[in-house]
Chains A and B, each alone.
Chain A
Amino acid sequence: MASKPVIVFDRVSKWYGPTQVLRDVSLTVMSGERIVVCGPSGSGKSTLIGCINGLQDYERGTIRVTGVTVSEREGTAHDLRAGIGMVFQQFNLFPHLTVLENCTIGPRLVQGIGEDAAVSRAHAVLGRVQIADQAHKYPEQLSGGQQQRVAIARALTMQPRIMLFDEPTSALDPEMIREVLDVMTELASSGITMIVVTHEMGFARHVADRVLMMDRGEIIADEPPSSFFSTAQPNTRVRGFLDQILTH
């Protein structure tokens, strides 16, 4: 395959005060790969993806994205962020801006494209997440599922090469999870590199190329879904975790 590594973690460690949240994590993500990260709460999964676009700092090791070391100090983190889309658990839409304004702000201010070009691009991505008709509403007038789709659209307006999802369905009512996962599945088929922190095991099974499981700051499993979910899974911690979330 012609793909090359886009994200490389090399023995990355991070502490919150005295507690270590990442322990010597090493990981390579190839271009176009779709990775699902799961694990119990507090295991460091959100921290892991937060480090990729520099929202979180790390103390030891290196993270390279498209060959560039992610560093807030050097300013590379900021430069990289323009090419990395991120979707949050709590949507984090800008409440004082309309859906359309939420989606034009990045291209206009960061990429410096004109207002008209930004609007037409925004309409295109809003169409892609099936929400074009809500463009002039404010976020609080939308349902949770709609808001999360707008958040995905907002990230896509930057035409990113990498998309990070931090528990995108955890704050949603059950009946709205489907619509968000559908959009993500569609996105996955477009060849974009995706890292998704989620407990939606159905999504992991059908969409992911690799499933990672984290526990206490370490990656304890990294395998394709077929083996990860297989009944012959040798790792007892993975089995325990899967039993716990699949029986619910």
Chain B
Amino acid sequence: MTSSPDVTSPMSVRVADVGSRAPWRRPWVRAVAFQTLALLAVLAVSAFFVSNVREYLPRAGLALGWDFLGYPARFEIDDNIIGATARDPVWKAFLAGTVNTILVSVTAIVLCTILAFVVALCRMSSNWLLSHVALVWIETVRNIPLLLQLLFWYGLSTLFPLPREAWQPAIGVFVTNRGIFYPTLQITAAHQTAFVVLLALIALLVATFVHGRRVRERTGQPSRLPWVALLLVIAAPVSVLWLGGAGWVFDAPTLRGFNFVGGSTVSPEFTAVAVGLAVYQSGFTAETIRSGILGVRLGQIEAARSLGLKPLHVLWLVTVPQALRIVIPPMTSQYLSLTKSSSLGVVVGYPELMRVTTAVISETGRAIECIGIIMGIYLSLSLLTSVTMGWYARHTAYVDR
């Protein structure tokens, strides 16, 4: 055994020098100190803010508290389906704003999904012209600021005809620069009952489908139950309507003076926000869908083909389910960002959450509480989505091995 010192690499000085470190150079001491400092810094900044707020409040003649939520709002929300008025308490205004945010977001999400799916399919077509038209669409809508697009759509809606010269695409439907007017059914108790029955039966239908699938998986025999349930879903509400003697009276919009009265309205602001959000987001979503479809391995499709499946069956049984798995997580975060972006509706005057909040602040001066509320609502929407997504991801993950 050679115990002579290494000739080419002399013993490193550092190894010989290693000993125990001075206390303040030990990593654990530093970690504790550093974290304590970080925590103290956060606390100090918060305390600084709080003390300034304490000083500000009496100066502004304000106090913190949630009492203002019970006061009358004192401003009208033009466009709300829960019927909140200026005399209703502030909390109801917030509710109306939240409902509007959800309403416009859901509308935009539906529009966007349809649009994006069509654009994605066009983009993937073998037809050069079709695919490039889709490309131009994607690049254009993605690269122009959403706010500009909203203002553009809002501006366009002012170019619609005056109520007197309303454009009538269908009987009873009027498109004007004051909004789109359409007739509504006069709701009776029978309609409401039928609707409740319908909802209950749809739940039943879903349940039977799940059950039917289990039965099929277990026995190989298709269950007949879903078909029975489907029949019920159609038949039961119809008979409730019939037996309840529901009328078919429509409340149609009619021109009175300078504007329409009666029926229902989709305001230009709502249209601008919903269409703007859907168009803007469709560029991103189309690309997501496309990459999802391209992410399905070709071998999968060839395997399905070689089983003798028809092209449409391949699309629905193999491509779409696998693509969905890839596409759903990014699409959810895109829809979440769409929902957050609906706050830009404030700029064109759509009374969503942000707009209501600014109105409440200017009425009551309660900026701190109001910002707390709005942040809380958006945060819970986001957290809810990410919790759902986490659940979805765990349940759809391929089982390895």
Contacts and interface: CB of A to CB of B under 8 A. Distances in A.
**Whether chain A touches chain B in the assembled complex (some CB pair under 8 Å):** yes
Interface of A: 1-3, 31-33, 66, 68, 72-76, 78-80, 82-84, 110-111, 124, 128, 156, 158-161, 189-192, 209
Interface of B: 1-12, 14-21, 25-28
Contact of B6 (A2, A110, A192): A192
A75 B26 contact: yes
Contacts of A72: 27
Contacts of B1: 1, 3, 32-33, 209
A2 B2 CA distance: 10
Nearest to B17: A79
15 contacts: A2-B3, A3-B3, A72-B27, A73-B26, A76-B19, A76-B21, A78-B27, A82-B14, A83-B12, A83-B18, A128-B8, A160-B9, A161-B12, A190-B7, A190-B9
Contacts of A68: 18-20
Contacts of A1: 1, 3
A191 B5 contact: yes
Contact of B14 (A3, A32, A111): A111
Nearest to A128: B8
Nearest to A157: B9
- 7 A-B pairs with the lowest CB-CB distances in the bound complex, closest first: A83-B15, A73-B28, A159-B9, A82-B14, A83-B12, A79-B18, A191-B2
Contact of A161 (B11, B17, B25): B11
B6 A191 contact: yes
B18 A156 contact: no
Contacts of B16: 66
Given A32-B2, A78-B27, 11 more contacts: A32-B1, A74-B27, A76-B18, A76-B21, A79-B14, A79-B21, A80-B15, A160-B15, A190-B2, A191-B4, A191-B6
Contacts, number: 80
Nearest to B28: A73
Q: Is the interface of B mostly helix, strand, loop or mixed?
A: loop
B20 A83 contact: no
A181 to B, nearest CB: 19
Contacts of B5: 191
A191 B3 contact: yes
A79 B21 CA distance: 9
B20 to A, nearest CB: 7
Given A111-B14, A158-B12, A161-B12, A74 B20 contact: yes
Given A189-B2, A191-B3, A74 B21 contact: yes
Contacts of A124: 8
B278 to A, nearest CB: 43
A72 B31 CA distance: 12
Instruction: Give the interface centre of A76, A161, A209 by most chain B CB atoms within 10 Å.
Output: A161
Instruction: Give the interface centre of B1, B6, B14, B15 by most chain A CB atoms within 10 Å.
Output: B15
B21 A159 contact: no
A190 B18 contact: no
Contacts of A3: 1, 3
A189 B3 CA distance: 10
Contacts of B26: 73-75
B9 A156 contact: yes
Instruction: Give the interface centre of B6, B9, B21, B26 by most chain A CB atoms within 10 Å.
Output: B9
A174 B17 CA distance: 41
A87 to B, nearest CB: 15
